[in-house]
Amino acid sequence: MVANPGGGSSDAGGGPVRHIPVLLAEVLAALEPGAGKVILDGTFGAGGYTTAILRAGADVVALDRDPTAIAAGQALVAAHGGHLTLHHTQFSHLADYAPEGGLDGVVLDIGVSSMQIDEAERGFSFQKNGPLDMRMSGTGVSAADVVNRAKVGDLIRIFGFLGEEKQAGRIARAIEKRRAKEPFQTTRDLAGLIEIVTPRKAKDKIHPATRVFQALRVFVNDELGELAQALFAAEQSLKPGGRLVVVTFHSLEDRIVKKFFSERSGKAAGSRHLPMVHERAATFEPIGKPMVVASEAEAEINPRARSAKLRAGLRTIAPAERPDMSIFDLPDLASLEKIGV
């Protein structure tokens, strides 16, 4: 997982990171899986959370947009005799896979997995040279398409917002100049240019290309939009008393989850400019601390955990509210469909 822009380790460089479920004990404590419960794991990956939930006695409906994860997970499906179903789909569609009576829990571990980073042909890491791809599903617009086709102004906004890259303008203009001569094809092709344009300083903790690679991955996979839609879908699919547990790895994701739980808390809405406020029925109540982070011991063992944040909510009896993407204040970025034309 690419580290949050505020610091911590980064998997964008493709260092050897063995897949270890992050905050597993904390996730299970918030989720409370058990016999007779149906839990949806929206980010199956290598099956770490799913395996632990199954061991706790619950049935699992697991989703993943990555076809390689679905293929690798078939042995686990076979081993659990009907207690696990695995579906190839985006987690924004999770409502389509909820049982008629509703779900007892939903868990989401947001971002790229170590398995994807370890595969050079997927193009997530600039330390492992491969095609500039980054598509989790393997279909649609690739990172190369974005870098070679998007307007400079669009690249600046993508790098600036999704990567919080301060040198977004300089990097975007350098990309425009270079691609006019030769298109970008590989991960090291792009990382090399960025390293020339914004050389690494002695005090820098991360590679100069880290934030741009993060921005491209998030944009190509519409990760923020997917997360927002998944939160609305979970609200619709959880039964009263059901639990929503979300683990994020950088500030953009965490802001969305924090905003969602705040909006669904039922607190009065208003501002000093609009003093008229109204109470809304809460659809979620907080579980435990507002935010949980990894212990020093876990962070030492698993570097990926250093930037992880867990937030969780308990579904109330109030009806789900209307999905409203405007609550997240997401920017109006370039259309993936238009870039792909």
Is 91 within any annotated ligand binding site? yes
Domain hosting 155: range is 117-221
Is 169 within any annotated ligand binding site? no
C-alpha pair distances (Å), 306 with each of 8, 186, 193, 224, 303? 6, 29, 29, 21, 6
Whether pLDDT at 268 is above 80: no
Q: Is residue 270 assigned to a domain?
A: no
Cα 26 to Cα 80: distance, rounded to the nearest angstrom: 24
pLDDT, averaged across the chain: 87
- The model's confidence at residue 336, banded by pLDDT at 50, 70 and 90, is confident
Q: What is the pLDDT of residue 9?
A: 33
Domain holding 105: CATH number? 3.40.50.150
Is 109 within any annotated ligand binding site? yes
269 sits in the region (left: phi over 0; alpha: psi -120 to 50; else beta) called: beta
- The model's confidence at residue 203, banded by pLDDT at 50, 70 and 90, is confident
Q: Which residue, 186, 226, 227, is CA-closest to 209? A: 186
Cα 298 to Cα 306: distance, rounded to the nearest angstrom: 8
Q: Which residue, 1, 246, 253, 247, is CA-closest to 114? A: 1
Is 47 within any annotated ligand binding site? yes
**Please, are residues 225 and 302 in contact by the beta-carbon 8 Å criterion?**
no
* 318 plus 230 within the same structural domain: yes
pLDDT digits (tens, 9 = 90+) for 129-185: 889 998 888 888 999 999 999 999 999 999 999 999 999 999 999 999 999 999 999
Q: Is 259 helix (H, G, I), strand (E, B) or coil?
A: helix
- Greatest Cα pair distance, the chain, in angstroms, is 61
pLDDT digits (tens, 9 = 90+) for 109-133: 996 655 544 444 444 556 678 899 9
Domain holding 185: CATH number? 1.10.150.170
Cα 238 to Cα 73: distance, rounded to the nearest angstrom: 25
Is 116 within any annotated ligand binding site? yes
- The model's confidence at residue 19, banded by pLDDT at 50, 70 and 90, is low
* 110 plus 28 within the same structural domain: yes
- Asked which of 52-61, 117-126, 235-244, 302-311 is least confident by mean pLDDT, the reply is 117-126
Q: Is residue 266 assigned to a domain?
A: no
Is 48 within any annotated ligand binding site? yes
Whether pLDDT at 10 is above 90: no
Average pLDDT over residues 333-340: 81
Q: Which residue, 50, 9, 24, 20, is CA-closest to 292? A: 24
Handedness of CA 284, 286, 291, 297 (dihedral sign): negative
Q: Is 16 helix (H, G, I), strand (E, B) or coil?
A: coil
Q: What is the pLDDT of residue 113?
A: 52
